[in-house]
Chains A and B, each alone.
Chain A
Amino acid sequence: MPQRLEPDLVERRDFLGLAGIWAAAVAILGSVLGMLRLPKPSVLPETGSRIRIGRPDEFPSGTTRAYPEHQVLVLSNPNGVAAISMECTHLGCVVAKTETGFSCPCHGSAFNADGEVVTGPAPRTLRWLEVGQTVDGRLIVDAKREVSPGTYLKV
């Protein structure tokens, strides 16, 4: 029966052996984890996210214009100009503009004119994107900057 003051110590040789094995195990594990760092990109290869869409007077109230290559829809009404991303919030297909809003070809999600989900598996409202102006007054959409739905730029 081992006593409290004289516990059953690990033999010295066993201890050194175990320490060696554990040191090797930790070293191998550490280097494997280190190697796994490689496939995780630190910089994402991305094309510019800012889209120049033109002068404000090209967007009189009531305009809707789609930019399919950027998957962005620009709309203008008395509130101002806004941009909605046409990338479906379900699994990333490109939604199509319909009379009542948007619909997605992939799994049938439908959105109203403000991009809110009406039916289907999409979990959230379509992303609204930031519309800004350059110094000379031209409008640009930043496809990487999300703004809260209903944000219009007064022009």
Chain B
Amino acid sequence: MRTSGLPAFAENLRQLPANLKASFSRHDAPTSDRSRSQAVFSNLFLHIHSTRTHVNSLRLRATFGLGVAAFSLFMILVGTGILLMVYYTPSTDLAYNSMKDIHYIVPTGRFIRNIHRWAAHLMVATVLLHMCRIFYTASYKAPREFNWILGMILLVLTLALSFTGYLLPWDQLAFWAITIGANIAASPRELTDALGITAYFDPGGMQKELLLGASTVGQDALTRFYLLHVMVLPLALSAVAGVHFWRIRKDGGLGRPGVTMTAAGKGASVGVPATMPEDAPRKTYGLMCVVRDRSEATDQDPIDTVPSWPYLLRAELLVFMVTMFACVALALISDAPLKEMANPAVPENPAKAPWYFLGLQEMVSYSAFMGGLIIPVVVILGLGLIPYLDREPEDAGVYFSGPRGRKVALRTTVFATIAAVLSVAIPVNYGWLRNWFPGISQLVVILINPGSLLTAAYAAWSILVLHRTGSTRLGAIALFTCFVVGFVILTYVGTSLRGPNWDFYWSQADWPVH
């Protein structure tokens, strides 16, 4: 006799909510340390954390939460960006008006736009600060060299995102900032022109054409920038950030005193002969705190560690909330600007890029090729190679690596400040080569300018420190501090002391009215 399937069906129906819930997560209800650890371990989104976290990594001073804040800002940007895309139209005829609609008509449009704008500013600042904290705590040391490089890539992607986003409103500021930016890409022409070979070899023109799809900023440029801004760069940044986080775990968690990584960090387990055959799985899944290999608790007692759920997750949530609060507060206080619609006939005066590019613009005002291309590339390469050129083994997590480092940083700050101020004050007061020697060769004017001399002075200072102290770490501290000071001072000059015609003014009140 066949029994009816109905009772089983009814029972399944009754169990549906419970079974749905059970199938949704791969772990028990997170009620104990053990089940919470299991949750962190087996959940796709949580397993980027290790199950236990060292207490020192949770201290505010260890990270100031800057990495997590940078990522929070990225998530906020993605969220608000998608909302803006609902109305934004990437066409030269419509873009400006759709921005205006968003700003003045769309419900909450202005608020969302403001958050997007502020989060972008904050993200650049946060990423830079995060880089400073990594550097000064020596967290780039082996085995974390490669994560430093991934970080540099993230920095470049972050800057590229804000550069491409800047064009989208299609207002005067956008149009002229991107015209200038695209011509910086074309600036190798200065050199090829001076050598008289542009007709045969024109890498500058090629770069500009790839960027703009035309010879001037127009519809093709807008289409390309839009594509980069909403698709290519965010996807690239997400992918690289994923690897960045994964490497933190694989490199043994955040660096901290007392756990200098040895060769063991590269994968071989300490005390186990390399030739020993693999036995069982190398991770002991049951006892989550005794994970072998390049994990935070490799062959150490789980002493001084706490479960990541709740301690780490709570800290991250706190950072996220603070970041969110900052964006919302700033968005309520201050509106994102929208100038007149782009007009290719009349440049904005002064045409200023966003603040983090103004140090660059200051150097570009000496020479587009050196200031806009060569010096930035040298700086990025120089910073990127720091972990490979300073390999002194050292505990991560001590700011400035102790009193000697602090002294070097202090002296470097004084030197770098004087050099940067001179590099601005001399040309402002006395002019530069062309004013002194009219008719001087163009090649000399391009190569020898205040920006390149400043860069050379910084390099020389760092080498001097390296030579005198006999320590590559102290040399690196000198170099990085020079970079920070130079960046801050030139950015300040570009932001606050430059007015119409890029002339020097002590305050905006002195700008001529026009």
Q: Which of B316-374 contact A (CB under 8 A)?
A: 345-351, 361, 364-369
Contact mask A26-68 → B, CB, 8 Å, 1/0? Answer: 0000000000000111001110000000000000000000001
* B209 in complex: contacting residue of A40, A91, A94, CB < 8 Å: A40
Q: Which listed segment binds A: B101-109, B117-125, B412-420, B497-505?
A: B497-505
B501 touches A103 (CB 8 A): yes
B179 touches A105 (CB 8 A): no
A40 touches B210 (CB 8 A): yes
B365 touches A69 (CB 8 A): no
A84 in the interface (beta carbon within 8 A): no
From known contacts A41-B213, A91-B180, A93-B179, infer whether A105 and B446 are also in contact, taking CB-CB under 8 Å.
no
A108 touches B431 (CB 8 A): no
B184 in the interface (beta carbon within 8 A): yes
Which residues of B have CB within 8 Å of A117? 434
From known contacts A45-B220, A123-B446, infer whether A69 and B209 are also in contact, taking CB-CB under 8 Å.
no
B350 touches A91 (CB 8 A): no
Contact mask B409-432 → A, CB, 8 Å, 1/0? Answer: 000000000000000000000010
Which residues of B have CB within 8 Å of A92? 179-180, 182-183
Which residues of A have CB within 8 Å of B500? 105
**Nearest CB of B to A120, in Å:** 8
State the CA gap A104–B368 with chains docked (Å): 14
**Nearest CB of B to A105, in Å:** 4
Which residues of A have CB within 8 Å of B190? 123
Judged by DSSP, the binding face of B is helix
From known contacts A92-B179, A123-B193, infer whether A107 and B209 are also in contact, taking CB-CB under 8 Å.
no
B214 touches A93 (CB 8 A): no
B219 in the interface (beta carbon within 8 A): yes
Which residues of B have CB within 8 Å of A40? 206, 209-210
* A106 in complex: contacting residue of B350, B366, B445, CB < 8 Å: B350
Which residues of B have CB within 8 Å of A91? 179-180, 183-184, 187, 364, 368
**Nearest CB of A to B484, in Å:** 25
**Nearest CB of A to B128, in Å:** 24
A71 in the interface (beta carbon within 8 A): yes
B442 in the interface (beta carbon within 8 A): yes
A93 touches B180 (CB 8 A): yes
* B368 in complex: contacting residue of A39, A119, A121, CB < 8 Å: A121
A97 in the interface (beta carbon within 8 A): no
Q: Which of A85-137 contact B (CB under 8 A)?
A: 90-94, 103-108, 117-121, 123-124
**Nearest CB of A to B343, in Å:** 9
From known contacts A41-B214, A93-B179, A94-B347, infer whether A121 and B364 are also in contact, taking CB-CB under 8 Å.
yes
B346 touches A68 (CB 8 A): yes
Q: Tally of A-B residue pairs with Cβ under 8 A?
A: 95
State the CA gap A37–B345 with chains docked (Å): 32
B215 in the interface (beta carbon within 8 A): yes
B183 touches A105 (CB 8 A): no
B213 touches A39 (CB 8 A): yes
From known contacts A45-B214, A105-B350, infer whether A119 and B364 are also in contact, taking CB-CB under 8 Å.
no
Which residues of A have CB within 8 Å of B445? 123
From known contacts A121-B367, A123-B442, infer whether A39 and B210 are also in contact, taking CB-CB under 8 Å.
yes
A44 touches B209 (CB 8 A): yes
Q: Which residue of chain B has the shortest Cβ distance to A103 in the bound complex?
A: B501
B214 touches A44 (CB 8 A): yes
Contact mask B197-219 → A, CB, 8 Å, 1/0? Answer: 00000000010011001110011
Contact mask B482-514 → A, CB, 8 Å, 1/0? Answer: 000000000000000000111100000000000
B176 touches A41 (CB 8 A): no
Which residues of A have CB within 8 Å of B446? 123
B194 in the interface (beta carbon within 8 A): yes
Q: Which of B360-402 contact A (CB under 8 A)?
A: 361, 364-369
From known contacts A45-B218, A106-B350, infer whether A123 and B180 are also in contact, taking CB-CB under 8 Å.
no
* A93 in complex: contacting residue of B176, B224, B435, CB < 8 Å: B176
A106 touches B210 (CB 8 A): no
Which residues of A have CB within 8 Å of B218? 45
Which residues of B have CB within 8 Å of A94? 345-347
B347 touches A106 (CB 8 A): yes
A90 touches B368 (CB 8 A): yes
State the CA gap A71–B435 with chains docked (Å): 27
From known contacts A45-B214, A93-B176, infer whether A105 and B345 are also in contact, taking CB-CB under 8 Å.
no
State the CA gap A118–B220 with chains docked (Å): 35
Q: Which residue of chain A has the shortest Cβ distance to B362 in the bound complex?
A: A107
State the CA gap A124–B446 with chains docked (Å): 11
State the CA gap A106–B368 with chains docked (Å): 12
Q: Which residue of chain B has the shortest Cβ distance to A106 in the bound complex?
A: B351
State the CA gap A91–B503 with chains docked (Å): 17
Q: Which residue of chain B has the shortest Cβ distance to A94 in the bound complex?
A: B347
State the CA gap A22–B442 with chains docked (Å): 47
**Nearest CB of B to A46, in Å:** 7
Subset of 27 A-B contacts with CB under 8 Å: A39-B210, A39-B213, A39-B224, A40-B206, A40-B209, A40-B210, A44-B209, A45-B213, A46-B214, A90-B183, A91-B180, A94-B345, A94-B346, A103-B501, A104-B501, A105-B351, A105-B501, A107-B364, A107-B502, A117-B434, A118-B434, A119-B435, A121-B366, A121-B368, A123-B193, A123-B367, A123-B368
- Given contacts A91-B183, A117-B434, A118-B438, list 15 more A-B pairs with CB under 8 A: A44-B215, A45-B220, A68-B345, A68-B346, A91-B187, A93-B351, A94-B347, A104-B501, A105-B347, A106-B351, A106-B502, A108-B365, A119-B431, A120-B434, A123-B369
Q: Taking beta carbons and an 8 Å cutoff, which residues of B are in contact with A?
A: 176, 179-180, 182-184, 187, 190, 193-194, 206, 209-210, 213-215, 218-220, 224, 345-351, 361, 364-369, 431, 434-435, 438, 442, 445-446, 500-503
Q: Taking beta carbons and an 8 Å cutoff, which residues of A are in contact with B?
A: 39-41, 44-46, 68-69, 71, 90-94, 103-108, 117-121, 123-124
Please name the 10 residue pairs, one residue from A and one from B, whose CB atoms are nearest each other, closest first. A105-B349, A107-B365, A91-B183, A93-B347, A108-B502, A68-B345, A123-B190, A92-B183, A107-B502, A91-B180
